[in-house]
Amino acid sequence: MRENIHVGHRHQKLAKSLLSSKLAKTWVTVKICISLFFIFLLGESRFQVISVFPRNINKNATTTTKIPKTIIKIPLNCTPLNNNKTTQTCPSNYPTKLEPAITTSEACPDYFRWIHRDLEVWQKIGITRETLEKAKPNAHFRVVIKSGKLYVHKYKKAFQTRDVFTIWGILQLLRMYPGQIPDLELLFLCDDKPAIWKRDFKNGTWPPPPLFRYCGHRDAYDIVFPDWSFWGWPELNIKEWNKLSVALQEGNKRVKWEDRIPYAYWKGNPRVSPIRGDLMRCNFSEEYDPMVRLYAQDWRGESKKGFKGSNLEDQCTHRYKIYIEGKAWSVSEKYILSCDSMTLLVKPQYYDFFIRSMVPMKHYWPIRPRKKCGDLKFAVEWGNNNTEKAQVIGRQGSEYMMKNLDMKYVYDYMLYTLQGYGKLMKLDVTVPENATEVCSETIACPITDGGLIRQCMDDSLVISPSVKAACNLHKPYGDNEIKMILKERQNAERKVMKWTDEYWNLRSGK
């Protein structure tokens, strides 16, 4: 029930913030309709099963818009505790196939157009058993999806609960779009850094093994997939994304942009990478005010204090926020970009699935890694001299996140990635000997300590199949389009670089 209150609320809020934009009006109408639909459902809250979709979906009807007569709500079905030693079983009442009743003409966000490129290397030959198994030494676990059921074979322990929440996420996808995920086997690596480097697969070893991961790199073949934190990062008190993105949006309203501290803010763990340690040196200059406020986050200390000082939604208090990579990409990226202060993005080497379509000077201000201190000071001064423009960049970055990173799109991205990947399977999908079937129940039900892990799961549980179909996938980027995108990005970066260098040359009297 909570889920729906939540969804309705969220869409209303999104709608409000977008009303000013003419372009968004039709989209808003659609969202409002959906909100009303959910509100309508709330009226009948006494029943678990509010109503039921027609069992046999007429294939011909899938292309037309049909408001569902009925909708099912299937909460977690935990075996009662007093049942001694009975193991939790996976329920059989969740529908195995359901076509969403509402088809849309809504286009997917642009970042979906990279999916094809991530899978391109296997397009010609497909993925054979031999190709897949080469990825096994790197993987933390194997996921097998067969007839809509999910099996896991764990190889190594992953850091914290990364693997648990990644698998949880895929399980929610199965609940969201039952019957739409093809049979497949995939291997997942939960580390920060890529493992399948291009340089290692030049000749005889073609094609490279497919390995799923949270971020990609220009020189690697790893397949990019949403990270665990969309479903929660309980160890750091970070809520799942549905709840948190709403809180972050609320947080934006707390302090008006003009009233925010006119400095660039960063708080994080500086010890995870040299570039972060380097950033900390921007804190000080004898000659000028460096215009930054940098704080080392001590997660262990925070954890002891109950995370009082690290609430993400309270961190939008400065006009500028810095994003800088950790060991590889950092989960903090989406939280930083969600704040509508202008993001100063230290040019990253690693990319997650959504950053690839973000544009410098539209969504963020680019910072050169090697000249970050000077670049940061210039950016902040520029922003304080051009407050309107800085606010626009901040707002556009934040809107990109709120709109394009709605949880529905995250699932849509996963759906299309797995559908594309599934098509490449040139092997008999088999459940390995020691794999176990897992479902939301087997993961969540045994966790009864009242802690944040279970809370994140309860909050992110998908309780109904989506009534709305996945967004429409654009055709993949062609080579020329990619070139254009990269060229535009480079031009924007060069422009900023030129301004910055001119400013510093003038100051140093060159």
Ligand X SMILES: *[C@@H]1O[C@H](CO)[C@@H](O)[C@H](O)[C@H]1NC(C)=O
Quote the least distance from Cβ 384 to ligand X, whole Å: 7
Confirm or reject binding of residue 378 to ligand X (CB under 6 A). Answer: yes
Least separation in angstroms between residue 355's CB and ligand X is 26
Site for ligand X in 412-451 (CB under 6 A): 432-434
Tokens of 225: 């997939």
Q: Which stretch binds ligand X (CB under 6 A): 181-189, 195-203, 352-360, 438-446?
A: 195-203
The correct pick among 27, 155, 382, 504 for binding ligand X (CB under 6 A) is 382
What is the CB neighbour count within 10 angstroms for residue 33?
13
Query: Of the candidates 171, 264, 291, 294, which one interacts with ligand X according to CB under 6 A?
Result: 294
Residues 466 and 48: their CA atoms lie apart, in Å, by: 17
Count other Cβ atoms within 10 Å, centred on residue 247. Answer: 15
Look up residue 490 and give its two tokens.
Answer: 């480079």
Report if residue 154 touches ligand X, rule: CB under 6 A.
no
Q: Closer to ligand X by CB, 15 or 380: give it.
A: 380
Note the Cα 48 to chain centre separation in Å. Answer: 30
Q: If DSSP codes are grouped into helix, strand and coil, which group holds residue 467?
A: coil
- Looking at the DSSP assignment, which residues form a beta bridge with residue 265? 293, 321
Q: What is the DSSP string of 219-230?
A: TB-PEE---GGG
- The span of 106-114, 287-295, 473-481, 484-492 binding ligand X (CB under 6 A) equals 287-295
Interaction between residue 296 and ligand X (CB under 6 A): yes
The helix or strand, by DSSP H or E, that contains position 12, with its residue range, turns out to be helix 2-18
- Determine whether 213 is exposed, middle or buried from the number of CB atoms within 10 Å of its CB (0-12, 13-18, 19+): buried
- Report the nearest approach of ligand X to the CB of residue 434 (Å): 4
Q: How many residues bind ligand X (CB under 6 A)?
A: 23
DSSP state letters, 224-258: E---GGGG-BGGGTBPPHHHHHHHHHHHHHHS-GG
- Which H or E element spans position 118? helix 115-119
Interaction between residue 288 and ligand X (CB under 6 A): no
Binding track, positions 297-336, relative to ligand X; x by CB under 6 A: ----------------------------------------
Q: Which residues, in sequence order, are bridge partners of residue 187?
A: 142
**202 sits near ligand X (criterion: CB under 6 A):** yes
Return the number of the residue (120 or 200) whose C-beta is nearest ligand X.
Answer: 200
The letter for the amino acid at 59 is K
204-233 footprint of ligand X as x/- string (CB under 6 A)? x-----------------------------
Does 55 bind ligand X (CB under 6 A)? Our answer is: no
Q: Is 84 in the site for ligand X (CB under 6 A)?
A: yes
Q: Is 203 in the site for ligand X (CB under 6 A)?
A: yes
Smallest distance from ligand X to CB 456, Å: 30
> From the CB of 57, what's the least distance to ligand X, in Å?
9
Q: Assess contact for 397 and 340: CB atoms under 8 A.
A: yes
Q: Which stretch binds ligand X (CB under 6 A): 105-113, 381-389, 407-415, 453-461?
A: 381-389
**Closest to ligand X by CB, 20 or 385:** 385
SS3 assignment, position 293: strand
Residue nearest ligand X, Cβ-based: 84
Q: Is 385 in the site for ligand X (CB under 6 A)?
A: yes
CB of 35 to ligand X, least distance (A): 32
CA 201 to chain centre: 29
Q: Please state at what angle helix 162-176 crosses helix 407-423, rounded to 10 degrees.
A: 90
The CA-atom distances, in angstroms, between 496 and each of 361, 378, 379, 503 are: 9, 10, 9, 11
CA Rg value for the chain: 24
Smallest distance, Å, CB 190 to ligand X?
20
Residues that bind ligand X (CB under 6 A): 58-60, 82, 84, 200, 202-204, 280, 283, 293-296, 378, 381-382, 385, 432-434, 503
